[in-house]
A and B are shown apart, each in its own frame.
Chain A
Amino acid sequence: MRSSPSRSLTRRGLIHRGVAAGLAAYALPANVPAWAGSTVNLPLPGGPDERDITTDFPQKGTMILQRTRPPLLETPFEVFDQGVFTPNDRFYIRWHWAVIPTSVDVDKFRLNVYGSVNQPLSLSLTEIMALPQIEYAAVNQCSGNSRGLFQPRVAGGQWDNGAMGNARWTGVRLKDVLDRAGVKANSVQVRFNGMDEPVVPDAPDFMKSLSIDHARDSEVMLAYAMNGDQLPLLNGFPLRLIVPGWYATYWVKMLNDIEVLDSPDTNYWMETAYTIPDTPHADMKPGQANVPMVPINKMVPRSFITDLKAGTTIKAGASIVVRGIAFGGNTGVKQVDFSADGGKTWSLAHLGKDEGKYSFRQWQTNFVPAAKGALTLMVRCTNANGEAQPAEPNWNPAGFMRNVIESTVVTVA
Chain B
Amino acid sequence: MNSRKIPVLVALLALSVAAGHPVAQALTLKWVDVTLPDSDRDLPDGPGFAAVQGNCISCHTPGMILTQPAMPKAAWEAEVTKMRDVYKAPVSEKDVPDIVTYLMAVKGTR
Contact = CB atoms under 8 A, between A and B. Distances in A.
Interface string B14-30: 01100001011011011
A200 interface: yes
A118 B61 contact: no
A133 B24 contact: yes
Interface residues of A, number: 69
Nearest to A58: B34
A1 B39 contact: yes
B66 A230 contact: no
B40 interface: yes
Contacts of B66: 48
A100 B32 CA distance: 13
Nearest to A104: B32
Interface string A38-63: 00000010111001001011110000
B61 to A, nearest CB: 4
Contacts of B41: 1-2, 68
Contact of A129 (B1, B24, B63): B24
A392 interface: no
B96 interface: no
A106 B28 CA distance: 10
Interface residues of B, number: 45
Contact of B5 (A65, A180, A203): A180
A271 to B, nearest CB: 12
A199 B58 contact: yes
A3 interface: yes
Contacts of B39: 1, 68-69
Contacts of A133: 16, 21, 23-24
Contacts of B64: 67
Main secondary structure of the interface of B (DSSP, over half): loop
A273 to B, nearest CB: 8
Interface in B74-103: 75, 79, 86-90
A69 B61 contact: yes
Contact of A100 (B5, B15, B36): B36
Given A202-B88, A203-B88, A225-B23, A66 B16 contact: no
A228 B35 CA distance: 24
A61 B31 CA distance: 20
Interface in A64-91: 65-71
Nearest to A59: B34
B37 A68 contact: yes
A182 B59 contact: no
A198 interface: yes
A233 interface: yes
Nearest to B79: A155
Interface string A202-237: 111000000000000000000011001110010001
B69 A158 contact: yes
Interface of A: 1-3, 12, 15-16, 19, 44, 46-48, 51, 54, 56-59, 65-71, 98, 100, 102-107, 118-119, 125, 129-133, 135, 148, 153-155, 157-158, 170, 176, 179-180, 182-183, 198-200, 202-204, 224-225, 228-230, 233, 237-238, 268, 272
Given A15-B35, A199-B58, A200-B89, 11 more contacts: A48-B69, A57-B37, A68-B39, A68-B61, A69-B36, A132-B16, A133-B16, A153-B71, A158-B67, A224-B27, A268-B86
Return the 9 tightest CB-CB contacts between A and B, nearest first: A58-B34, A153-B69, A68-B39, A203-B88, A56-B37, A132-B12, A103-B33, A68-B61, A182-B2
Interface of B: 1-2, 5, 9, 12-13, 15-16, 21, 23-24, 26-27, 29-41, 58-61, 63-64, 66-71, 75, 79, 86-90
